[in-house]
Amino acid sequence: MGEGSYHMPLRARPGVAGILGCALIAAGGFSGLVRAATPDTVYRHGSIYTVDAHDSVQTALAIRGGRFVYVGDEAGVAPFIGPKTTVVDLHGRMVMPGLVDGHMHPLQGGASLMKCNLNYLQLTVQRMQAMIQDCLDATRSKEPDAWLEVVNWFQEGMVPAGVATTRTVLDELKTQRPIIVESSFGHSSLVNSRAIAIAGLTAATPDPLGGKIAHDVAGNPTGLLDDAAQDLVSDKMPAPTAEDDLRSAKAALDAMRKQGITTFLDAMAVPPALVAFSRLQHEGALTARAHFALLITPPEGRDPVVATASVAALAKQYDGGAIEAKPGMTVRNVKLFLDGVISAPALSGAMLQPYFEAVDGHWAAGKNRGPEVYFPAPILRALLIDVVAAGLEPHMHADGDRAVHEGLDGIQALRTAYPGKDVRAAIAHDEIVDPADFARYRQLNAIPVLSFQWEKRASDTVDNAEEYLGPARFKYMEPAGFLAAAGARIAYGSDWPVDPLDEWFALKVGVTRTNAPQAGPKYAGRLSEDVGLSRAAVLRAITMNSSYELHQDTLTGSIEVGKLADLIVLDRNVLTIPADDIANVRVLRTVVGGAVVYLDGK
């Protein structure tokens, strides 16, 4: 089945249910479909990759009441076809479980689609200035005082590598407006002098806990802010309105269903996100199962009891209870940032050994190990134990090997405190892991939630990481294959909008460890010495394993009788096409709880 083999929606046998579905799309769009009673549906003549315990492939399935009631061959599905059954002929196309994205930031992702956007491009300073000036020129009516928020700045991809970016870059633009340019990684921002003045930053302003203000030789702020220091400026910006947030949430869901995402975890949920998605749920417009990890900041974590009580109250207010066929909300996770990012210029990942630095023309270990882990070990242990006591589960950000190590230590303390308790503790990113810690993931049942799209040669992994890490660490960079070989249960999270939302490119990278051909010869070849993952492993990571991470594995993640009918139909077979072609997969249909929430071309 080639890329051009599908143009119209999959043909359905005309019946009452099929006609009703078409009418709902025409009249009410996807929210109408979600509100409607789900008709009985049969899919047949397909290649149905079940992701069950045997990775079996079947040809037909039946759905009733939002659940799979049959999965098997053509002969067995016949009794499920009645006069009102919608029958979808797959014509041999691949069906698989809906994608479960175990780490993203949907409200920010949706908002980024509507802001001044640098689109993750590798830019010179001049090109960066030109793109921001275009945004300013297009919004002249907002002079002189409205903020300009610029998103998806690929800070690590600035060319030439190492070029300085300070407030001067923005001060040279033709505007009086305060400007903030947010790194796509989410851990750094660049602001102009107007923004610095509004925030009251001076040479005497101390670094906040878990953040850093860059200073020039005279001691003045350069405009670069890392991690918690960004809040010193963003707190001065007008907050988005409830309607802004609602538009962002709708845009996020639209992007997700086109990718085939049927469940997601908001990995840094704040109250506006809870309000927006809760409103969509009440309107019947939630088209994916929504999970939320409530943020506890390092300063809040200094008092674990108070911090835990605060997030537990929010969870009680917004958690929707038992997961059912119709998409709902669960609020059962807590997010903790243990460090920043391992790439230059930030080098804010917490490392066991110092970063390398250039000395007399060669690279050698320096003195900078990055910041201290943002939650000191005794506080982290106490916080994890209190969080679990409150019925919540930890989801930790850790990029550097010291942050990973201390995160695993915290999980070990958690296992000691609650032996036998089913706690699905997760560590997201895990970009550098000490080989001595590989086996601990399996031993502790700690879930590494990896962003496969980073597992390629690119400016952030080569130009701004390889030499800073040194050869001993770089050989293990993005260690998906090493972790899998050690028995870790790998889940997947896109981290959108840190990167564009492109799950199929990420899966391709997870298998091949290579960049797109258009990245050029500099970034050709595989990243590090990691062997990568098999196709079955990456598909399981983004279905069953991410479902396990979210305590949803008995309900989703595989196509099996009794499970919720979350599935996607693809334009090509991921198991048989050339590995590089996985990046070109197109989702033709997305189904959540038996209801069609996306049809290609509609």
Task: List, in order of start, the domains of the chain with CATH numbers.
Answer: 3-97+560-599 (2.30.40.10), 119-153+164-234 (3.10.310.70), 242-549 (3.20.20.140)
Say if residues 148 and 135 touch (Cβ distance below 8 Å).
yes
Say if residues 307 and 385 touch (Cβ distance below 8 Å).
no
Chain segment 525-577, per-residue pLDDT in tens? 999 999 999 999 999 999 999 999 999 999 999 999 999 999 999 999 999 99
- Residue 460 banded pLDDT, cuts 50, 70, 90: confident
Say if residues 97 and 543 touch (Cβ distance below 8 Å).
yes
Chain segment 240-297, per-residue pLDDT in tens? 999 999 999 999 999 999 999 999 999 999 999 999 999 999 999 999 999 999 999 9
pLDDT score of 120: 85
Alpha helices in 71-174 (DSSP H): 74-77, 106-112, 125-138, 167-171
Strand locations in 33-107, DSSP E?
41-44, 47-49, 57-58, 60-64, 67-72, 86-89, 94-97, 99-104
Is residue 476 predicted with pLDDT exceeding 70?
yes
Mean pLDDT of 197-201: 96
DSSP notation for 111-135: HHTTSEE-TT----HHHHHHHHHHH
Backbone CA torsion sign across 464, 470, 475, 479: negative
pLDDT score of 95: 98
Strand locations in 129-220, DSSP E?
148-153, 179-183, 188-191, 211-215
Phi, psi angle pair for 227, to nearest 5°: 50, -125
Chain segment 36-72, per-residue pLDDT in tens? 333 599 999 999 999 999 999 999 999 999 999 999 9
Is residue 125 predicted with pLDDT exceeding 50?
yes
Is residue 469 predicted with pLDDT exceeding 80?
yes
pLDDT score of 355: 97
Which position has the token pair 């850790």?
A: 398
Q: CA-CA distance, 109 to 497, in Å (whole number)?
A: 5
pLDDT score of 2: 35
Q: CA-CA distance, 356 to 376, in Å (whole number)?
A: 25
Is residue 375 predicted with pLDDT exceeding 70?
yes
Q: CA-CA distance, 595 to 602, in Å (whole number)?
A: 15
Point out which residues pair with 450 in neighbouring strands: 492
DSSP notation for 457-525: -SIIIIITTHHHH-HHHHTTSS-HHHHHHTT---EE---TTSS-S-HHHHHHHHHH----GGG-GGG-S
Chain segment 127-186, per-residue pLDDT in tens? 999 999 999 999 999 999 999 999 989 888 888 988 989 999 999 999 999 999 998 878
Is residue 412 predicted with pLDDT exceeding 50?
yes
Q: CA-CA distance, 57 to 291, in Å (whole number)?
A: 29
Chain segment 66-122, per-residue pLDDT in tens? 999 999 999 999 999 999 999 999 999 999 999 999 999 999 999 999 899 998 898
pLDDT score of 396: 98
Is residue 28 predicted with pLDDT exceeding 60?
no
Q: Tokens standing for 128? A: 């960066």
Tell me which amino acid residue 313 is: A
CA nearest to 343, candidates 231, 207, 459: 459
78: number of Cβ within 10 Å: 13
Return the higher-pLDDT residue of 224 and 2.
Answer: 224
Question: For the chain, what percent of residues have pLDDT higher than 70?
Answer: 93
CA nearest to 64, candidates 574, 519, 563: 563
421: number of Cβ within 10 Å: 9
- Residue 602 banded pLDDT, cuts 50, 70, 90: low
User: What count of Cα atoms within 13 Å lies in the side-chain half-sphere of residue 205?
Assistant: 20
pLDDT score of 359: 87
**207: which DSSP letter?**
P
- For residue 393, give Cα distances in angstroms to 294, 334, 335, 381: 10, 6, 9, 13
Give the pairing of strands 491-492 and 447-450.
Answer: parallel
- Residue 318 banded pLDDT, cuts 50, 70, 90: very high
Is residue 353 predicted with pLDDT exceeding 70?
yes
CA nearest to 157, candidates 114, 109, 108, 119: 119
Mean pLDDT, the chain, as a whole number? 92
Phi, psi angle pair for 233, to nearest 5°: -95, -50
Strand locations in 384-487, DSSP E?
393-398, 426-429, 447-450
User: What count of Cα atoms within 13 Å lies in the side-chain half-sphere of residue 139?
Assistant: 21
Helix (H) or strand (E) holding 414: helix 401-417
